[in-house]
Amino acid sequence: MTNPIQVNQMDHIVLVTRDKAAMLAFYCDVLGLSIDRDRPELGLTHIRCGPQMIDLIVRTTPRPAREAHNQDHFALQVRPFDETAIRAHLAAHGIEIAEEGARYGADGVGFSLYIRDPEGNLVELKGPSV
């Protein structure tokens, strides 16, 4: 039997935030993404990330232990990948590089820089395969 579910690509990820302004500053000002749609009645903001989305949902109370986060990181492809310029830009915004090195991703092995957003999510900035 053929599987009727044919996944083409990632559609979106959803990140929980307590400080929407700080997260928007990070994803829009530092990473250069843009707000696609804001839905304040739901506490939800959709940020355009190429053809995909990063959704921010505001949560002011901690999640119960059974709903604790289990995400390690997510990766964003960066093209072109000018490592020197990217490092300078991150430093100018006070963003520290948590980890770096050659990593395997959707298009093969390429250099990556890992940074943290204001909520502590690990974000991989993935360069092209070599």
* Per-residue confidence (pLDDT) for residue 65, from 0 to 100: 59
> Given a cut of 80, is residue 13 above it in pLDDT?
yes
Question: What's the pLDDT tens digit per position in 104-130?
Answer: 998 899 999 999 999 999 999 999 998
pLDDT confidence tier of residue 59, bands split at 50, 70 and 90 = confident
Better pLDDT: 126 or 63: 126
Is it the case that residue 21 has pLDDT exceeding 70?
Answer: yes
pTM of the full predicted structure? 0.84
- The structure tokens 């909520």 sit at 119
Three-state SS annotation for 65-116 = HHHCCCCCEEEEECCCCCHHHHHHHHHHCCCCEEEEEEEEECCEEEEEEEEE
> Could you report how far apart the first and last alpha carbons of the chain are, in Å?
38
- The yes-or-no verdict on residue 49 having pLDDT over 90 is yes
Residue tagged 């395997």 (tokens): 104
Q: Which domains does the chain have, with CATH numbers?
A: 12-61+72-129 (3.10.180.10)
pLDDT of the residue at 117:
95
